[in-house]
Amino acid sequence: MNGAEKKRKFNFRSLPLYVLFAGAIVFFIIKLVNIQITGTDRYVRTMSLTHEREVTVQSLRGEIFDRNGTPLVKNEYSDDLMLDYGALPSGHAEKNDALARLCLVLKKEGRQVETVMPVTGVYPHIQYDEEALSSQTAKNRMYRFLLYHNIRSDTGCLELYEQLLEDFALLDGDGEHIYDPDIEDLIVRLRYSLDATDFAVSNPYCVCPDVDLRVETAVLEAGCKGVYIKKNFSRVICVPGVGSNVIGRTGKIPADKVGEYLEKGYSYDATVGLDGAEAAFEDILKGEDGVTVYVEDGYGNVISSYVKKEPVPGKNVYLTIDIGLQAEAERVLGEQIKKVAAAGRASGVEDNGEKADSGALTVFSAKTGQVLALASYPTYDLSTFSRDYASLAADPAKPLFDRTLSGTYQPGSTFKLATTIAALMNRTITPDTVINDTWRYTYYKDYQPTCWRSGGHGPLNLIDAIGASCNYYFYEIGRLTGISVMNKYCRMLGLGDYTGIELPENKGVLASPEYKESMYKTWVPGDTLQAAIGQSDNSFNPLQLSSYIATAVNGGSRYKATVLLKTCNYSGGDEQINQPVVLGVAEIDDMTVSAVKRGMKRSKELTSTTKGYNFQIGTKTGTAQTSKTNNNAVLVAFAPYDDPEITLSCVIENGASGVNAAAPVLDTISYYFHLDKNGNPLPAAE
């Protein structure tokens, strides 16, 4: 075969390859032009379907400390797996597939899907969970769900479940179940939860709280649609069971306040303070939420993300409360109430303290208005509040009720100090004025009350009358001074008015003709006599009593009560000190201040439960009659005598006699000033 023949044979066989190769080149050139110039490529079309989804990044809530820097509430961080309304497929089939895939991943990782459907058992052996439905929240959710799906409220559990299988398209055209029973059950429960909790763009749903990196990775690798990870925090109570009424709780926005918070820029699922300091200082603690933007393609895959707004942490709050003093006050108050009840039962005498089961003790700075302790008994533990709520709410002793601020009590003879101030400043009497107590006060023919001491006290000057708590003496000076002048000074002292504290309080009632008239009753002269000894309509909260005594012994400065010591930013800088605020100045001269202090010192020396206490203080007992046979025990005090630093008040409900309120006050003073039980200085080592 010659060379020419070889050449012809080669060209003939290679021609198809040349053509194919040339065609491929032309095809790829066209594709390249199509991708880069015309923009009609399928992938470009897919990319053009991207959308941005904004996710709120919760700011760190400020933490809470006591006056000494002891942590009271700290943050604990977690990652929550959330369902996003905008990214979750809307069609039944697609939504079910997305939820099924997510449930399978979580099940494989050993995590439970969070649902709120009040049903127990597995289909078809199911029934309503009566325990869950005892909650008003669960009832409200069920009501909303049934209304939304147009289902009768009397529908049985099995009937409801089977209808949801149809409504959620979980059966095929032949009525067969599409998913395995356990996955199907999770889908039904999860879709119920979404509808029942108002799942929306502004209200994502937490499908699995506190997930770790392993679960996060598994969810992302499985390509689960409509989910994202939300950085979250929970509050950790550092001193469980102490100061619960002061510290307060956080939680989701209450239903009746959603509109109010949304107007302030809160997200629907925000965590807010519900009570106590958490609520009072919400604006300081909350911080500013940030925003992260996720860019997703048409398949729901996240292709990029960026931070649109950085979150700003809230500020830390330092309370005026001394948590050690608070714990001691709560302890000694609880112990004394139990002792009073036990002694009352042992006495065999009816209404002798055996009903004592609750009370309050407050400690107040006489020079600044700072509240150092607010002990209410019985109390509760914030760290187990949710678990214990049902029993706490049902407890007849009302442990959730803050008696230090919301409880109001007749002051009994502790009010005689206010009567003293009014009478002295009005020049009705002097400290040396002597009145002869003959037991029965006979000035009025139609109303003749008696002194508490049978036979009377005989002749007494003012200081001795305070010390002996002589009713007769104060009937007389109350009548001579008159209710108008008495109340003028009582208002200066803050009685019947708010203390100014940042927490909710009941301001109580100052007995007066105007108040009597508002109750459709008529003020009579006998009411003035009763008001002068702290009875009639007089009713104040325990912190008011401490505040009033502070004003009386510090020279007349009525300080605004506060539990806020200072704030600082989250890292500890930029401190803002809460300065003392004077709400008013009572017209009290030095002679009057001295008389009040001397009278309280005499009372301390004459009272059986306080006379053996060696530290120099002033006290005044009060036995406030609540019925014909029953009394509350009340006591107020200041310490030390020469330069009053703190004032205290104690109330024991059904405590029989004011002397029974002394022990918690003395023990609290001892703790504050580092004294032993008898008021003597402790050795340096202790």
Task: List C-alpha distances in Å: 409 to 208, 568, 596, 651.
Answer: 48, 37, 22, 8
Task: Tell me the per-residue pLDDT of 238-256, one tens digit each, with 9 for 90 and over.
Answer: 999 999 999 999 998 998 8
Rounded Cα–Cα distance for residues 87 and 84 (Å)? 6
Structural domain that includes position 22 = 3-47
Confidence of residue 571 (pLDDT cuts 50, 70, 90): confident
Distance of CA 151 to the CA centre of its chain: 38
- In this structure, of 52-61, 92-101, 523-532, 657-666, the range with the lowest mean pLDDT score is 52-61
Task: Tell me the per-residue pLDDT of 408-462, one tens digit each, with 9 for 90 and over.
Answer: 999 999 999 999 999 999 999 999 999 999 999 999 999 999 999 999 999 999 9
Compute φ and ψ for 386, nearest 5 degrees. -60, -45
Radius of gyration of the chain (CA): 37
With a pLDDT cut of 90, the percent of the chain lying above it is 75
Mean pLDDT of all residues in 586-596: 97
Task: List C-alpha distances in Å: 60 to 55, 57, 269, 607.
Answer: 16, 9, 15, 53
pLDDT of residue 54: 80
Confidence of residue 558 (pLDDT cuts 50, 70, 90): very high
| Residue 12 in domain | yes
Mean pLDDT of all residues in 195-202: 87
DSSP-derived secondary structure letter, 443: S
Rounded Cα–Cα distance for residues 274 and 286 (Å)? 12
pLDDT at 7 over 50: no
| Residue 36 in domain | yes
- In 3D, which of 136, 139, 118 has the Cα closest to residue 128? 118
pLDDT of residue 546: 98
Q: Measured at the alpha carbon of residue 86, what is the angle toward residues 82 and 92, in degrees to the nearest 5?
A: 90
- In 3D, which of 467, 362, 363 has the Cα closest to residue 420? 467
Compute φ and ψ for 384, nearest 5 degrees. -120, 20
Tell me which residue has tokens 């505040």: 547
With a pLDDT cut of 70, the percent of the chain lying above it is 92
Distance of CA 305 to the CA centre of its chain: 37
Number of domains in the chain: 1
Task: Tell me the per-residue pLDDT of 100-152, one tens digit each, with 9 for 90 and over.
Answer: 999 999 999 999 999 999 999 989 999 999 988 888 888 999 998 999 899 99
Map residue 371 onto helix, strand or coil. strand
Compute φ and ψ for 536, nearest 5 degrees. 60, -135
pLDDT of residue 13: 61
| Residue 20 in domain | yes
Rounded Cα–Cα distance for residues 241 and 385 (Å)? 10
Mean pLDDT of all residues in 499-513: 98
| Residue 24 in domain | yes
- In this structure, of 335-344, 474-483, 569-578, the range with the lowest mean pLDDT score is 569-578
Q: Where are the alpha helices (DSSP H) in 84-125?
A: 92-108
Rounded Cα–Cα distance for residues 224 and 239 (Å)? 41
- In 3D, which of 268, 315, 312, 271 has the Cα closest to residue 291? 312
- In 3D, which of 360, 86, 325 has the Cα closest to residue 226? 86
pLDDT of residue 235: 93
pLDDT of residue 367: 98
| Residue 13 in domain | yes
pLDDT of residue 255: 84
Confidence of residue 4 (pLDDT cuts 50, 70, 90): very low
Q: Give buried/exposed letters for 273-306 (b at 16+ CB in 10 A, else e).
A: bbbbbbbbbbebbbbebbebebebbeebeeeeee
| Residue 27 in domain | yes
Q: Which residue has the higher pLDDT, 653 or 15?
A: 653
Contacts of 350 (CB under 8 A, 6+ apart): 629
Are residues 59 and 290 in contact, defined by beta-carbon separation less than 8 angstroms?
yes
pLDDT at 304 over 90: no
Q: Per-residue DSSP letters for 179-234? A: S-HHHHHHHHHHHHHHHHTT-BTTB-EEEESS--HHHHHHHHHTT-TTEEEEEEEE
Q: Which residue has the higher pLDDT, 197 or 645?
A: 645
Map residue 585 onto helix, strand or coil. strand
pLDDT of residue 8: 47
pLDDT of residue 265: 86
Q: At what angle do helices 542-553 and 590-606 cross, to 10 degrees?
A: 120
| Residue 43 in domain | yes
pLDDT at 468 over 70: yes
Mean pLDDT of all residues in 70-87: 91
Mean pLDDT of all residues in 328-357: 96
DSSP-derived secondary structure letter, 255: G
pLDDT at 233 over 60: yes
For the entire predicted model, the pTM comes to 0.82
pLDDT of residue 3: 47
Are residues 248 and 277 in contact, defined by beta-carbon separation less than 8 angstroms?
yes
Are residues 66 and 237 in contact, defined by beta-carbon separation less than 8 angstroms?
no
Task: Tell me the per-residue pLDDT of 9-30, one tens digit each, with 9 for 90 and over.
Answer: 545 566 666 666 666 776 667 6
pLDDT at 34 over 90: no
**Number of helices followed by number of strands (H, E) in the chain:** 23, 23
Are residues 202 and 55 in contact, defined by beta-carbon separation less than 8 angstroms?
no
pLDDT of residue 593: 98
Confidence of residue 228 (pLDDT cuts 50, 70, 90): confident
How confident is the prediction for the chain on average, in pLDDT? Answer: 91
| Residue 30 in domain | yes
